[in-house]
């Protein structure tokens, strides 16, 4: 028995019978035979494939809420992703679920986010004349766009955790459902933290009825939500919060939309970001030769609209600004004396 097989055997001994076991995965799009020297389960391999891919590295320079904030401590898509993964692992460990599957789903869930957050999503929706959904783009990244058009060939369970972290589709695995809930827990709470840092909110602004249920600080809110989910899910055998805590979380999310997500201070530059991406889209659509060589083979396969959309969606905030400046902003003349 090699190391991978021993790890799979241990899963059956220690995990909840409702967990997704590595040796029972529904497999990959392109079947891969296990190798004798493998020391990782399929879900561990998926996490490593995601962490080592280019799209994951770009998360470091993609907006979470504030567009290009001045300061080192605001969240980016990368730090958000890590927070989701940690929350998901904590919940899965307490419930006896497969932490490796949850970690892989969490690490890949936001790979398809555009530059400038949801402003970029809105801009591409307008240009494509159909909704651009970042969860669907995340799945497209791991299935098609990475690895020179070959994708990462992830397992079905990880792919569905990525796709189902938001939107109508709910992942079949409990681990995928944990990722979905962990994303909600993470972004609402760390967005409060960033909004306080940005001077948009104070802790005292949180409605008292919400604070009485969830807590009065970042630490207390996270602790309440995670512990409540663990307690209730253990009792019910499915992933859920208690009605009181779930209602408070929904109310907190509504409060954040009113005070932060639609706040002109936080979103004051969104119209500029949308216009920037629109002009980049129109430029590359008219000048396909300017699209990087890596994307050129895709033009004949997917067409102009889809290729330009994929290229722009993959940009970081800084790279989008750089390309816009390079294309549309006149360069200064340097006169030799």
Average pLDDT over residues 87-108: 98
- Quote the mean pLDDT of the chain: 92
Q: What is the pLDDT of residues 202-236, one digit of tens each?
A: 889 999 999 999 999 999 999 999 999 999 999 99
Residue with tokens 């008292």, as numbered in its chain: 208
- The answer, as to whether pTM is greater than 0.85, is yes
Structure tokens at 283: 């430029």
12-16, 101-105, 184-188, 243-247: the lowest-pLDDT one: 184-188
Average pLDDT over residues 74-79: 82
| pLDDT at position 190 | 84
30-44, 240-254, 265-279: the lowest-pLDDT one: 265-279
Average pLDDT over residues 81-109: 98
Structure tokens at 202: 């104070």
| pLDDT at position 259 | 86
| pLDDT at position 194 | 81
| pLDDT at position 67 | 54
Average pLDDT over residues 47-57: 98
Q: What is the pLDDT of residues 319-336, one digit of tens each?
A: 999 999 999 998 766 556
| pLDDT at position 272 | 87
Higher-scoring residue by pLDDT: 139, 148 = 139
């Amino acid at each position: 028995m090699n190391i991978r097989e021993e790890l799979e055997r241990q899963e059956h001994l220690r995990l909840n019978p409702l967990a997704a076991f590595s040796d029972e995965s529904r497999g990959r799009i392109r079947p891969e035979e296990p190798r004798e020297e493998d020391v990782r389960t399929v879900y561990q391999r998926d996490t490593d494939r995601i962490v080592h891919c280019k799209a994951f590295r770009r998360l470091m320079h993609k907006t979470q809420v504030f567009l290009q904030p001045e300061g080192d401590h605001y969240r980016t898509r990368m730090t958000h992703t890590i927070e989701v993964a940690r929350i998901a692992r904590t919940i899965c460990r307490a419930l006896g679920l497969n932490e490796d599957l949850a970690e892989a789903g969490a690490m890949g869930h936001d790979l398809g986010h555009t530059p400038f957050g949801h402003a970029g999503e809105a801009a591409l929706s307008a240009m494509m004349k159909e909704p651009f959904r970042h969860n669907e783009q995340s799945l497209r990244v791991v299935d098609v766009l990475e690895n020179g058009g070959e994708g990462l060939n992830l397992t079905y369970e990880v792919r569905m955790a990525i796709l189902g972290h938001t939107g109508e589709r709910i992942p079949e695995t409990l681990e995928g459902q944990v990722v979905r809930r962990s994303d909600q827990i993470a972004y609402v709470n760390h967005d409060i933290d960033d909004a306080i840092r940005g001077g948009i909110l104070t802790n005292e602004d949180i409605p008292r009825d919400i604070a009485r249920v969830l807590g009065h600080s970042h630490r207390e809110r996270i602790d309440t939500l995670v512990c409540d989910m663990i307690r209730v899910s253990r009792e019910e055998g499915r992933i859920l919060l208690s009605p009181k805590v779930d209602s408070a979380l929904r109310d907190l999310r509504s409060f954040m939309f009113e005070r932060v997500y639609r706040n002109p201070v936080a979103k004051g530059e969104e119209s500029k970001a949308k216009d920037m991406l629109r002009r980049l889209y129109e430029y590359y659509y008219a000048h396909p030769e300017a699209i990087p060589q890596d994307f050129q083979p895709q033009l004949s396969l997917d067409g102009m609209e889809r290729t330009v959309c994929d290229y722009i969606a993959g940009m970081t905030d800084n790279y989008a600004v750089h390309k816009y400046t390079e294309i549309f902003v006149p360069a200064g003349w340097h006169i030799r004396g």
